[in-house]
Amino acid sequence: MIGNRIFFVTVTLESLNALIVRSPKGNFMLLIDGYRFSKHREVCVRGIQKIRWQCAKGCNATLTTFGDAVVKFNLQHNHQAPFIAYSKRGNPILVLKGYRYSLKVTKAFEDHVIRRWQCSTHTNRGCLATVITQNEHIVKTKNEHNHVQSNIRNVKLHLSPMLLGFQ
């Protein structure tokens, strides 16, 4: 409020570059800047869906939508968003929670691309940690490593968080 004037700012999912997708289990997920949000609570108010989204990692980041409008949000995460780096040889590396994943499988469909990433530092020692991405977003993780985090070195950082726009 400035003086006696009240200003309202309309924030939409589109203005946040948010994307709603289905998880491999069929649940809806909200994806914003490499972070995943899952439905926490859903009610119908006068025929319009009001949904409270919570960070899938359990931090305090939340978002409340009323139809396509965002009515309340806290996008302060207490964890790092995943990002893409490149090895010395120019291969893409997904960095998530201090672990490195190398690209193993890419499947292209008419409207999306699915990529499977596997732990790159200890695969030969039996680490089965994997990440599945759809287009530019993480949709599934199996983050059970049998080793501690390795130092992230010998990689060139790609500055955009979770942009998989490589060919």
pLDDT tens column, 123-164? 677 888 999 988 777 888 887 888 877 655 444 444 344 444
Report if residue 4 sits inside a domain: no
Backbone torsion region of residue 159, taken as left when φ is above 0, otherwise alpha when ψ lies between -120 and 50, otherwise beta: alpha
Give SS3 for 83: strand
Confidence of residue 52 (pLDDT cuts 50, 70, 90): very high
Confidence of residue 50 (pLDDT cuts 50, 70, 90): very high
Task: Provide the token pair at 135.
Answer: 């287009």
Residue 157 confidence (pLDDT): 45
pTM to 2 decimals? Answer: 0.57
Residue 164 confidence (pLDDT): 42
Q: pLDDT for 104-117, tens place per residue?
A: 989 999 888 899 99
Q: Which of 19, 44, 74 is the last residue of a domain?
A: 74
Residue range(s) defining the domain that contains residue 125: 83-161
Q: In the chain, how many domains are there?
A: 2
Q: Given a cut of 60, is residue 7 above it in pLDDT?
A: no
Report if residue 88 sits inside a domain: yes
